[in-house]
Amino acid sequence: MTQRVIEITSESFLTEPMLARGEDISSFFDNAQPLCLEIGCGIGDFITQLAARHPERNYLAIDIYNKGCYKTCKKIDQAGLKNVRVMRSEARYLLANFIPKESLEAIYINCPDPWPKKRHRSRRLLNEAFLQMVLLYLRPGGELNFATDFQDYAEDVAATIAAMDGYTNCQTESLSTARPGYPVSKYMRRFLDQGLPIYFVHYRKRPDWTIADTEVRLSQGFRLKWEQVENG
């Protein structure tokens, strides 16, 4: 049985057809502040905290789940935040089609699906091809922030980034289990309250990094069908 798609009427919510008109995504904000992207916003705990702490930045929070976008919009609206927009989209498709290159101040990816079985690990979002793609869309000096409760995922990402030319580490170690000042979502808190660690990877795009677009394997990701309405 399919789930009903919840209609989202919040002014904070963007749809693919809105962006497909050709408008720059920055035009949907009230100012020209630096733009940051959260990939996989869940129910909005993290982005609500982050945007409240940094009103000098604009944030686009995306998720592939309709219900998560609905709950995120609700939190944002209740908090009165004007520097966040929410969109139901897949990350690679969004980047390849709607985000200008070298336009993002920061990217945040918290606790994505770890695909723990070995035969499924190729499905993980943060692989070498995606990390190369990210370099195209971060501005020089822009940050990549990754957090996961899965140690081997953190180790894989840290090792992959360390072998790439375009990043520099913002931490003293390749990954850490402490990130002072980093917002903690309810999902993260569940692990921390059990005494289990969250692993943080924090890198910055080198300001002097340049590469021809043809040298990066761009992935188009997958497109969500906005016009389709599912009935429960």
pLDDT digits (tens, 9 = 90+) for 86-126: 999 999 999 999 999 999 999 999 999 887 888 888 889 99
Q: How many other β-carbons are positioned within 10 Å of the β-carbon of residue 185? A: 20
Q: How confident is the model at residue 224 (pLDDT cuts 50, 70, 90)?
A: low
* Bridge partner list, 226: none
Indicate the average pLDDT of the chain.
89
What is the pTM assigned to this prediction?
Answer: 0.91
Helix (H) or strand (E) holding 143: strand 138-148
Of the chain, the percentage scoring pLDDT greater than 70 comes to: 89
> What was the pLDDT predicted at 194?
94
Task: Delineate the domains of the chain, giving CATH numbers in brackets.
Answer: 13-215 (3.40.50.150)
* Bridge partner list, 200: 147, 176
Q: How confident is the model at residue 229 (pLDDT cuts 50, 70, 90)?
A: very low
Range 160-189 average pLDDT? 94
How much of the chain is helix, strand and coil, in % rounded to 5? 35, 20, 45
Residues with active-site annotation = 113
Range 25-44 average pLDDT? 94
Q: How many residues does the chain have?
A: 232
Name the residue type at position 176. Answer: S
